[in-house]
Amino acid sequence: MTILVPREHGSYGQLILPMVTGMAIGRPSPAAFTLAAAAAAVFLAHEPLIILLGGRGARARRERQREARQALILSAGAALVLGAAAIALMPSMSRWTVAAPIALALVVGIVVARGRERTTSGEIVVAAAFASAAFPVAVASSASPLAALTCAVAFATSFSAATVSVRAVIAGVHGGGGGQRAAACATAILMFSIAAALAAGRIVLPVAPWAAVPMCAVAAGIAMTAPPARYLRLIGWVLVAASTLTGVILVSAIR
């Protein structure tokens, strides 16, 4: 059976970087690695689900239905088994931390089922779900809940800012995007402000807004300069570099 992997290349970084950072701020444990594997299995369920729902077109749904069904059963089954194993491996007092990513994963499922995944709000929900995986992974790596939440918030705000900016660039291809560019700049400022407000309220560590700076700054820069669509691949790599810097800042400040 051919492995069906998600086509959205930017999502790989959104999946991996928060969990790697969550492990790096602590001491990775078998539970942390198992949680990461469960999250990867959920991620792999995305493409076959999209095919079955017709998101890749009627022809793909017709010709790859059996293959997609098998892949979905395999990935969903792996996610359930790995998730249960991870929860069993976690200390009982830490098991509550899986609630946020599970809840957001269910919301993502609803978004996908309604065909809203490619809307701005849908992509922000997906980005938040990816970022939330850092929370239980970090706690399972012996990080404090405060440090773990800081990682999740820094990545969630960063990814949200980047999502809106990339959509503004794509909108510009069709001759529009002026309003979206302004919205993208405002979103970048808003996301930084949210991280700063949470830090001021001691809900997250003071490093959170500073960790969000690289992605928010790049997102604002993209929105203001409105580069042509031919630079989308380069923009993607710049965003990966910025999100990697976010991880480095978090690890340097917390560990």
pLDDT tens digits for range 167-221: 888 776 666 556 788 889 999 999 999 999 999 999 999 999 999 999 999 999 9
**Sequence-distant (≥ 6) Cβ neighbours of residue 5 within 8 angstroms:** 44, 47
What is the pLDDT averaged over residues 13-18?
91
* Mean pLDDT, the chain, whole residue set: 88
Using the predicted structure, report yes or no on whether residue 107 has a pLDDT greater than 60: yes
pLDDT at position 142 is 92
Closest Cα to residue 212, out of 234, 197, 224, 227? 197
Please give the structure tokens belonging to residue 167. Answer: 């959509």
Read off the pLDDT band of 97 (50, 70, 90).
Answer: very high
pLDDT at position 175 is 60
Burial code of 113-152, b = ≥16 C-beta within 10 A, e = fewer?
Answer: eeeebeebebbbbbbbbbbbbbbbbbbbbbbeeebbbbbb
Torsion of CA 44, 45, 51, 54, to 10 degrees: -130
CA pair distance 205, 215, nearest whole angstrom: 18
Read off the pLDDT band of 246 (50, 70, 90).
Answer: very high
pLDDT at position 197 is 97
Please give the structure tokens belonging to residue 255. Answer: 């560990």
Note the pTM of the prediction, 2 decimals. Answer: 0.90
Burial code of 191-213, b = ≥16 C-beta within 10 A, e = fewer?
Answer: bbebbbebbeeeebbebbbbbbb
pLDDT at position 147 is 96
**Sequence-distant (≥ 6) Cβ neighbours of residue 207 within 8 angstroms:** 150, 154, 199, 249, 250, 253, 254
Using the predicted structure, report yes or no on whether residue 7 has a pLDDT greater than 70: no
Report helix angle 145-173 to 120-132, nearest 10: 150
Using the predicted structure, report yes or no on whether residue 8 has a pLDDT greater than 80: no
CA pair distance 93, 85, nearest whole angstrom: 16
Top-confidence residue, 86 or 62? 86
Q: What are phi and psi for residue 115, nearest 5 degrees?
A: 70, 25
Read off the pLDDT band of 9 (50, 70, 90).
Answer: low
Share of the chain above pLDDT 90, in %: 58
DSSP 56: T
Closest Cα to residue 35, out of 76, 74, 88? 88
Closest Cα to residue 194, out of 138, 153, 253, 246? 153
Using the predicted structure, report yes or no on whether residue 133 has a pLDDT greater than 60: yes
Is 216 exposed, middle or buried, given 0-12, 13-18 or 19+ CB atoms closer than 10 A?
buried
CA pair distance 24, 19, nearest whole angstrom: 9
